């Protein structure tokens, strides 16, 4: 496989989160697997903007993704300690976007 494809997750993680990950086949496989779930989730969320039939599902997926990551990060903070500034900023965005989706979904159903 091309080294160009192997290097992108490593560069992206370092750039976006300040995390340096090893060039390990198993680790890269896990990163790409998680990224694919995020991509498919994002596509479903975007479909909810344009196709009314997907709106409910879109909000559910967004809530699961954003608040799921936030909960996992809080567990990690409790178990492992404080992460770097970029990750803390990510937690804030995850909480805001997850909460916004909960509020909208409750309003939509109410």
Instruction: Write the pLDDT tens digit of every residue in 18-66.
Output: 777 777 788 888 888 888 899 999 999 999 999 999 999 999 999 999 9
Q: How far apart are CA 94 and CA 63, in angstroms?
A: 9
| Cβ-proximal residues to 45 (8 Å cutoff; 6+ apart), any chain | 58, 61, 62, 65
The rounded mean pLDDT for the chain is 88
**Whole-prediction pTM:** 0.81
Does pLDDT of 110 surpass 80?
A: yes
């Amino acid at each position: 496989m091309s080294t160009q494809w192997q290097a992108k997750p490593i560069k992206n993680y370092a750039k976006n989160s300040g995390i340096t990950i090893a060039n390990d086949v198993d680790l890269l496989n896990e990163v790409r697997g998680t990224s694919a779930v995020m991509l498919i989730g994002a596509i479903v969320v975007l479909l909810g903007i344009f196709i009314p039939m997907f709106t409910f599902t879109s909000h559910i997926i967004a809530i699961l993704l954003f608040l799921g990551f936030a909960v996992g990060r809080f567990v990690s903070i409790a178990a492992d300690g404080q992460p770097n500034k970029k990750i803390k900023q990510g937690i804030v965005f995850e909480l805001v976007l997850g909460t916004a989706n909960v509020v909208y979904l409750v309003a939509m159903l109410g």
